[in-house]
Each structure stands twice: as structure tokens, then as C-alpha cells.
Structure 1
Amino acid sequence: MTATTIARAWMVRRADGMVLGFTDHDASLTFEGIRFLPDHGMSARALVQATGLSVDNSEAEGALSDDAITEKDVLAGRWDGAEVRMWEVDWTRVASRRLIFAGSLGEIARSRGAFRAELRGLSEPLNAARGLVFHPRCSARLGDSNCKRILTGATFMTEASIAKVSDGSVLGFTAFPAYGPGWFERGNILVLSGKAEGLHASIKDDVASPGGRREIALWQALGILPDIGDRVRIVAGCDKRAETCRKKFDNFLNFRGFPHIPSEDWIMAPQTGGRRG
């Protein structure tokens, strides 16, 4: 390759199999079964690559467009963790190329019709915590392979139509099934219809009122506000306490916490919490 004929090309593959190709060349390139389109939706900054196991550091940025990377898809998390590969390629002979980056998309930020995504190298998983954490509360995520609680049926999830949207983060319902107050706190909500379909959020507060009225407050407003009448699915939450695991979910056999571990005060000042031995 010569310096005057080098272009960069990058591929992004979502978890659902959708593949997009981009290049900073002024014409499309095709190799490895992928067509790389010029100036189409995304560009990448210069890579900062280190030796050893250090995580490569770079960013990708671009415009949110209807035919490439849409705002709705970004907000719905469809690009989270997408596979990324980048090549330097001789655009006069695409067989002459070298792979300069392989990894995934990390945190995605959006502003004014554009996005910026962190690129994470293949060594990024090595930064994840390993091992067991000794804590009074459960370390499992509700419904995962450690928790083993299957969240199906009307006990742990329901669907309802939105009757009111306040401040972007509070959803009101007028014909809600009978659940106790706070049943859905720390749970999650998924929009099933309308322009916000596919978006999800974590639930902060769940307030029940007489007559089947209910208000659910989200920790953060949905990126695209749902409309009145849109359907949502709401899943119960867990505060990870042993009592909740036993009484609410009947799942204490799979509890992944240590409810009888001594408190920090007991360790630091045993005379205030009881005797040792």
C-alpha cells in the first residue's frame, strides 16, 4: 500500500445480525462480503493502541440517519455491544489491507441529531470484576442464571396502556391490575407500541392509588416520549434483601447473598454489637 491510496473502512455488526460498513474513501469499497459506503452515518477518530493488554482507546461518531444508525435504535440499545472491526485498505486493490482494530461499541452518547460511541478493545472484558462478593444482599440479577426465578405470569409482570405522561419520566395509568404499593420499584418497563416502541427504562417509584390508578416514576426519562394510549410491559423489581427473596419471589433457595454476615460496625467495634466467639 502507498500513502496516497490508503483508506479506512470499518464494519459494525449488531447482536441481531445487522451489518453496516463505512469508509472515509469517496467511493464504496467491497470486501469480506461487506459493502463499505462513503461518508455514510459514521466516522472514526485516530486509534490509540497500546502494547500488552491495555484497552485500545478510540471513538466513533456520526449523524443519526433513517437509513443507517437511527436515534430510535440507539435509544433502544440495539447498538450496545455491537462488534466493530476497522481496516486500513488500499482502495485501488482491496485485497491489500490490514486489520487495525477489533472490539465492540461501548457507551453511546447522543446530542443534536448525532452520536458518539466509545470503542472498546478485545481486552475490555479483562476489566470486569471476577469472583464472589460477600455482602448481605443478593449479588444476582433478578431472573438471570444465578437467580433462576422465571419472571412469567401475572404475578411478576403486567401490560397496561399509558393514561398520562408527566415531566417525561412519570407514567400514569387509570386501569391498572391490583398490585401492592411498590411492587414494581427497581423493576423495569418496556414500551410495546407507538413511536417509542422497544425503549426500556428502570423504575424508581411505584405509587398505587384507589380505583386502579397508578403512577410509575422512571430513574431517567425515555429518549423518545411515549404517547397516551401506548402499551407497556412492566416487570416487578427486587431490592435484593433476603426477606424479599423469600416472601415476594419464593426463591430463597437461590439467594446469592450472606444475610448473617457481621456488619461493618460489629467488625470495627465488637463490643457495641456483641461478643466475639
Structure 2
Amino acid sequence: MTGYSEEFAAHLAQDCTTLCHCWLVTRRDGTTLGFTDHDRKLTVGGRTFEPQSGFSQSEVRTSLGMAVDTADVEGALSSDVLVEADILAGLYDGAKVETFLVNWMDTSQFARMRTSTIGRIERRDGQFVAELESLTASLDKPNGRVLRRQCDAQLGDGRCKVVTDDPAVKGEGVVVAIAGAGKFEAIGLGDYTPGWFSLGEISWTSGPLAGRCFAVLDHAVRGGKVFLAVSAADPQPEVGATFTIIAGCDKSFKSCREKYSNGLNFRGFPHLPGNDAAYRYVADGMVFDGGALVE
């Protein structure tokens, strides 16, 4: 709902009002969560907004023109709604936040005040402070391509065109042992050469981490056993958890051509000359045949 209904406008015109704020958070994985600064649960527009997170909001100013407006929203990290592990995993990065003004005595009277995205998140002493950026913040970011030797496409996207569902690119496995912080032994990947999944992506399909994706730092084979390494800051999987894993790409033209036979779709500039070639002087014996300066 956008704007004010006649009933809500009449309530706002009264000397005494019964107002509160509600926030609807939509994460990038599609999960929606509702919070309110009221002291009891509210149902607004068919959605439930929980009070136990202790949400509160700083002063909000709206500017005319294209200025970027920000606000801070603060709340408690509660075990059943908001957990620090989810924030550390980046599940709330870039999440959409809709702010509603609600008459808590009659929740059919409400209005959406603004739509924002979560920017920087700070965590301290069981509390978090999230910066809410207006939608115009996206217009304040650099756009366009950067000319560099490495590819700037994501493996499997519309520009890369590698089919990531191909068994040669995508594997499945099970965790059989924990080898240390961010390291674990897995089965099901014995047919792949060591390093095939380094710099790839692992998606958990069962266990407490189901639905989450982490970057793979290393894929090694030692003593016939397969080991995978992710960031030590990522949550630890449990033994028996299943996953799918996508092969890695170091964004080089050599890997694109030899590992994926995808050189025609390479989105970098592998023959881009460096500063040494760009600034050197013309000398006798140099070849000027229009060929590539970098092999």
C-alpha cells in the first residue's frame, strides 16, 4: 500500500495517535522477515511482524532531487529470528527493506513510507546497526566495464555461457570428516583432478547450512582423500551434510580456453599491453605487423 487512506489520514490528524513502525526485510535468497518497534506481534497486509528483535530507527531525512538518503536501524540479535552467523554469511547484504507506518490499534490503516536497501552492517555486544540506503544510492556507483586482461563475467552467466549443470563442471559430495577451521574431507569428487574446484562455489543441500553458498578456496587430494577448503570465517558444516559444487575459474584466458573450451566467449582483453609496452620507445628491429603484443 502506498499513500494514506482516508481513515488513516483522519487518524493522523487527531491529537492523540497510536502509531508504530514496521519493517519488511526481503533477503537476496527470497526469505522475508517482519519486525516492528511495537511491543506485540502485528499482522499488517497479511504479513506478521515480530517485536522481540527490538528494532528501532534513527532520524530519517528525505532530500529533494537525486541526493542519497540514509537511515540507521538498530536491533538485537535474537536466536530465533536474527543470528550473527546469517549476517556474517552475507545473507542480509543488499537486502530490500520496506518501512511502514502503522496504526497498531487498527492494522488495516498503514502506509509504506520508503523502500531501502541494507548497506553497511555493524555488530557489537549482541546488537547490530544496519545502514539503510535509499534506492538512489545505486545511481551513485561507478558503472561500465573495466578494460583488463582477466575476464569480468561470472562463470555460467549469460555472457560466459558455460553450462554449469554439466557433470564436468558441477559435482556432488558428502562431508565425511572435519579437518580444521574451514577445511573438511568429502567423498563423491574422486573423478575430478586436484584443483578443479579451487575458486569455485559450494552450495549446501542438507544440514544446518542448507541453502547457503560459500566460495571454495582450495580443492586438494592427499593420500587418496579429497579435501576442500573454504574461508575459516564461514560456518562449519557437519559430518553427513551434502552439497553441490561448481568448478572454479581464475578468470584467465588460458583457463577459459583450456579448462572450459570457451575462448570465444572470454570477456577480458588477454592481449592488452602493459605499461612497459605502452610507454617504450620505437627502436630499430621492432616488429610492427599488427600482431598481439602479449601471448
TM-score (norm 2): 0.77
Report how far residue 199 of structure 1 moved: 2.5
Cα deviation, 1:38-60, whole Å, max 9, x if unaligned, reads: 34464333335444323322233
Tell me, in whole angstroms, the C-alpha distance in 2 between the residues paired with 1:148 and 1:228.
Answer: 34
Task: Give the equivalent residue in structure 2 for 1:216.
Answer: 228
Distance 1:13 1:149, change over 3 A: same
Measure, in 1, the Cα distance between the counterparts of 2:109 and 2:164.
51
Distance 1:233 1:28, change over 3 A: closer
Letter in 2 for 1:269: R
Alpha-carbon spacing, 1:205–1:271, altered in 2? closer, same or farther (3 Å): farther
Question: Residues 3 and 275 (structure 1 numbering): CA distance in 2 closer, same or farther, change over 3 Å?
Answer: farther
> Is residue 76–residue 198 contact of structure 1 (8 Å, CA) maintained in 2?
no
Distance in 2 separating the partners of 1:39 and 1:22: 8
Q: State the partner residue of 1:251.
A: 262
5+ unaligned residues in a row in structure 2: which ranges? 1-11, 291-295
Alignment of 1:126 onto 2:139:
yes
**Maintained 8 Å contact 1:83/1:104:** yes
CA distance in 2, matches of 1:130, 1:244: 27
Using the aligned pairs only, state the percent identity: 35
The question of whether the paired residues in 1 share the 8 Å contact of 2:116 and 2:132 is answered with yes
Q: Tell me how far 1:160 sits from its aligned partner.
A: 1.5
CA distance in 2, matches of 1:189, 1:222: 12
Q: 1:88 to 1:266 in 2, by over 3 A?
A: same
On the 8 A contact 1:200/1:222 being kept in 2, the answer is no
2:170–2:244 contact (8 Å) kept in structure 1: yes
Out of 66, 74, 97, the residue aligned to residue 84 of structure 1 is 97
Partner residue, 1:177:
190
Structure 1's unaligned 5+ residue stretches are none
Residue identity matched to 2:280: A
For 2:106 and 2:230, how far apart are their aligned partners in 1?
Answer: 52
Aligned residues: 274
Counterpart Cα distance in 2 of 1:28 and 1:163: 43
Per-residue deviation, 1:125 = 1.9
TM-superposed deviation, 1:90: 4.6
Q: CA deviation at 1:202?
A: 0.8
Supply the distance in 1 between the matched residues of 2:275 and 2:262 (Cα, whole angstroms).
Answer: 27
More off after superposition, 232-241 vs 12-21: 12-21
In 2, Cα distance between equivalents of 1:112 and 1:261: 49
Query: Does residue 238 of the first structure (1) align with residue 249 of the second (2)?
Result: yes
The equivalent residue for 1:104 is 117
Matched, 1:60 2:79: no
CA distance in 2, matches of 1:235, 1:175: 13
Matched residue, 1:227: 238
